[in-house]
Amino acid sequence: MEKSGFFNAMKVGDTWDRVYKAENYAEYFASFIGNGVFPNPSTNLQVIGTDKMQVIVKPGKAWINGYKYENTDDLILPIDVADGVLHRIDKIVLRYDVVEREIRAKIKKGEFASEPKAPQLTRDADMYELGLADIKVNAGSISVTQVDITDLRLNKEVCGIVHGIVDQVDTTTIFNQYLEWYKNITGKTEEELQNIRKNLETDFKIWFDGIKEILSGDAAGNLLNLINKNKDSIDTIQDNIDKLEQSTTSQLADITTYQTAGGTATSINLNLPTLVNGYATTFIVSSNNNKNA
> Which class is 11-169 in CATH?
mainly beta
Question: Is the model's pTM score more than 0.75?
Answer: no
The mean per-residue pLDDT over the stretch 117-141 comes to 95
The mean per-residue pLDDT over the stretch 51-67 comes to 93
Q: Which amino acid, one-letter code, is at 49? A: G
In this prediction, residue 245 carries a pLDDT of 76
Quick check: 168 and 175 in contact, CB under 8 A? no
Quick check: 131 and 155 in contact, CB under 8 A? yes
Main-chain phi, psi angles of 171, to 5 degrees: -100, 5
Q: Among 77-86, 169-178, 217-226, 276-285, where is mean pLDDT lowest?
A: 276-285
| C-alpha distances out from residue 94 to 25, 76, 109, 137, Å | 20, 14, 14, 20
Domain extent listing, the chain:
11-169, 262-292
In this prediction, residue 171 carries a pLDDT of 66
pLDDT band for position 265 (50/70/90)? low
Percentage of the chain exceeding pLDDT 90: 38
The mean per-residue pLDDT over the stretch 79-100 comes to 95
In this prediction, residue 252 carries a pLDDT of 63
Q: Among 48-62, 72-86, 142-156, 234-248, where is mean pLDDT lowest?
A: 234-248
Asked whether residue 168 carries a pLDDT value surpassing 70, the answer given is: no
The mean per-residue pLDDT over the stretch 231-243 comes to 80
In this prediction, residue 293 carries a pLDDT of 46
Asked whether residue 275 carries a pLDDT value surpassing 70, the answer given is: no
In this prediction, residue 247 carries a pLDDT of 72
pLDDT in tens, 5-31: 787 888 888 888 888 788 887 887 777
The whole-angstrom separation of Cα 185 and Cα 99 is 45
The mean per-residue pLDDT over the stretch 125-135 comes to 96
The mean per-residue pLDDT over the stretch 132-149 comes to 93
In this prediction, residue 169 carries a pLDDT of 57
